[in-house]
Amino acid sequence: MKTTIKKAILPAAGLGTRFLPATKASPKEMMPIVDKPLIQYAVEESLSCGIKDFIIITGKYKRAIEDHFDTAYRLEEKLRASGKETILKELNKLNNINLAYIRQRVPLGLGHAILCARPFVKDEPFAVILSDDVIDPGYPLLKEMITVYEKKKCPVIALQEVPKSEVHRYGIVDGKQEGAVYKIKNMVEKPAPDKAPSNLAIIGRYILTPEIFKILERQKPGAGGEIQLTDALKSLVKKTPVYGYLIKGKRYDAGDKLGYLQATVDFALKNKELSEGFKKYLVEKVKDLP
């Protein structure tokens, strides 16, 4: 895909409290769905759009992410010696990507994490991908968003309708539908159900322009005492059009235990080696359910 979006920021400094104790000393971004860590799905999704430069925002206990994307010489030697070429090929698939790691020294929120990437992004448009929002790999959401961006040359944010009872977990937008997109008028981070302007939630895929950095620089803490990307985007909306793109495929909230399990089941059912045995198991299991 030909695009002006060359870089993706992958925020990975969050504490992952919803998965404690699993995330006490290891990154939630490294939690696997079947056999691949969440952050690798995000990287592969970007690669399928021609994005090869990644800026990963890390923090304490996140070194496993760097090791994961590094070459593992001894492991590779062993695999080669035992003729395990398929796994070797799988491991080497990501050899051509460029990675920069920035440590967010204090966990000040998503907006601050994005601001940390500024010196590496400079004045280019870029993608932001939150690894715990997993998109079905068969559905090209990011590609569709980039296509919208290339037409409008304005920020594009992924949206999904959520039940009213869940609006407090998301950034919620107020927008007006204009053909295939929403022109966003306002947005609010994690509102109470009676304060939510709609049930259109922001999902962790953004195509942003560098103007956001100037706003983030001065952004005051918002919901949860954190510097919120949503609050900065709310200010941006007053200066330049910002579009919402309603997602049309399957998305899993893998930052939530139920969503994580749903992703695991669906991905296992689509996995060539696992699907038959796993389906058999599930059918038996369903029979036993109370």
Binding site for ligand G1P (CB under 6 A): 110, 130, 133, 170-171, 189, 201-204, 228-230, 255
Cβ 259 to ligand G1P shortest distance, Å:
10
Cβ 233 to ligand G1P shortest distance, Å:
9
Quick one: 31 or 79, whose CB is closer to ligand G1P? 31
Cβ 11 to ligand G1P shortest distance, Å:
8
Quick one: 109 or 140, whose CB is closer to ligand G1P? 109
Quick one: 59 or 204, whose CB is closer to ligand G1P? 204
Alpha-carbon gap, residue 114 to 20, rounded angstroms? 25
Cβ 74 to ligand G1P shortest distance, Å:
36
Kindly provide the residue ranges of all beta strands, DSSP E only, lying in 120-276, ordered along the sequence: 126-129, 133-135, 156-161, 171-178, 181-189, 200-208, 243-246, 251-253
- Smallest CA-to-CA distance from 149 within 121, 124, 117 is with 124
Residue 205, SS3?
strand
Cβ 88 to ligand G1P shortest distance, Å:
34
Residue 8, SS3?
strand
Alpha-carbon gap, residue 132 to 260, rounded angstroms? 9
Residue 110's alpha-carbon distances to 12, 225, 273, in angstroms, are: 9, 11, 37
* 95 token code pair: 């050899």
Residues in Cβ contact with 158 at an 8 Å cutoff, skipping those fewer than 6 apart: 141, 145, 202, 203, 204, 205, 206, 244, 245, 247
